[in-house]
């Protein structure tokens, strides 16, 4: 009943309305249809739609592909969203904050800075915990026949989070002759694996082209002052074991982790590792699927025909 130009314009603004009201599935559906109905030669129009279509999908755990970011309409968007997607994949809070800071005026002008700053953090914590588990978990020889659940030691995740917090504050790898290394501020009796500490030092060395024996030291003039949204927890506040445990419990409640926390042991135990293709697949389910199941429980299907304001038939 309406020309394509009017359909696309209506769906674009309907998508932005739903995005502003946190209806990400609806926003993504409207914006995707607007994008598909826009001819490829209208690069500026498709770019404007992608500016909000990519974040709508990010909030649902769908990362943009390299093929999408290489299209002409995404030429100026790739420097913004490619690092954000990379930081989500790896749990790299340093890259995440650097990417937001580098494009802060543009993101603020588009109304995307605040939701991107806060809505993506659970995905970063999920990826960080997954990488820590991959780095530290060593299955016991009798795990094949054992009924014991694979576990992630929360003290290891605490070390990794503290390590990233210091990087955000401007800490740098110290030379090997720096002497004692008091800067990780770990609680006494944390029980952290020496192999894991060595791996963190090696990671710092690779990132900063330093020696294999480097460790972190505060920058000249003291740690950088962080705004509340720039730290892992709150500005320059130290990351505590209580913070780590609460984050893991929150991820479990959101369906982004599958298991339970043994508080007295300080461990996250993975459920269903024997029947779901191993502890990684069982403990860290697909983000997009977990969000969809939480949004539409009991196996309900997404009814795209019921999006308010969009009359399809």
The domain spans of the chain are 4-119, 124-295
**Lowest mean pLDDT segment, chosen from 43-47, 87-91, 154-158, 272-276:** 272-276
pLDDT for res 145: 59
The predicted-structure confidence for 266-301, as pLDDT tens digits, reads as follows 999 998 877 777 888 899 999 988 888 887 776 656
Q: Give the model confidence (pLDDT) of 143-197 as tens digits.
A: 555 677 889 999 999 999 999 999 999 888 877 654 454 445 555 555 556 666 6
pLDDT value of residue 214: 45
Residue percentage of the chain with pLDDT more than 90: 60
Nearest to 102 by CA among 128, 82, 118, 122: 82
* The predicted structure's pLDDT at residue 212: 44
Output Rg (C-alpha) for the chain, integer angstroms: 22
The set of residues, in sequence order, having a beta carbon less than 8 Å from that of 46 and lying 6+ positions away, is 35, 38, 40, 71, 73
Mean pLDDT of the chain: 85
Q: Is the separation of the CB atoms in 260 and 271 below 8 Å?
A: yes
Contact 169, 134 (CB under 8 A): no
Give the rounded percent of residues in the chain with a pLDDT score beyond 70: 82
The angle subtended at Cα 280 by Cα 298 and Cα 88, nearest 5°, is 85
**Least reliable range by pLDDT among 21-35, 170-184, 211-225, 235-249:** 170-184
């Amino acid at each position: 009943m309406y020309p394509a130009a009017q359909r696309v314009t209506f769906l674009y603004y309907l998508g932005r309305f739903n995005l502003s009201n946190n209806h990400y599935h609806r926003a993504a559906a409207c914006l995707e249809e607007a994008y598909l109905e826009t001819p490829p030669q209208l690069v500026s129009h498709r770019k404007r739609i992608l500016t909000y279509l990519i974040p709508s999908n990010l909030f649902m755990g769908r990362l943009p592909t390299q093929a999408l970011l290489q299209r002409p309409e995404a030429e100026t968007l790739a420097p913004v969203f490619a690092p954000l997607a990379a930081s989500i994949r790896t749990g790299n809070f340093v890259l995440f904050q650097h990417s937001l800071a580098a494009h802060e005026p543009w993101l603020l002008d588009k109304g995307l800075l605040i939701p991107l700053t806060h809505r993506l953090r659970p995905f970063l914590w999920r990826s960080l915990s997954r990488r820590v588990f991959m780095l530290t978990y060593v299955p016991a020889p009798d795990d094949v026949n054992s009924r014991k659940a694979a576990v992630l030691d929360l003290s290891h995740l605490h070390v990794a989070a503290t390590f990233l917090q210091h990087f955000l504050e401007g800490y740098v790898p110290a030379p090997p002759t720096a002497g004692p290394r008091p800067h990780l501020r770990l609680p006494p009796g944390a029980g952290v694996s020496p192999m894991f500490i060595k791996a963190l030092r090696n990671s710092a060395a690779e990132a900063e082209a330093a020696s294999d024996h480097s460790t972190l030291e505060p920058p000249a003039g003291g740690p950088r002052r962080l705004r509340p949204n720039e730290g892992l927890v709150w500005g320059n506040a130290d990351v505590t074991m209580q913070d780590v445990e609460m984050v893991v419990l929150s991820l479990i409640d959101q369906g982004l982790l599958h298991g339970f926390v043994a508080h007295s042991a300080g461990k996250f135990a993975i459920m269903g590792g024997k029947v779901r293709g191993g502890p990684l697949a069982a403990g860290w389910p697909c983000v997009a699927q977990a969000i969809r199941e939480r949004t539409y429980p009991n196996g309900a299907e997404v009814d795209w025909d019921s999006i308010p304001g969009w009359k399809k038939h």
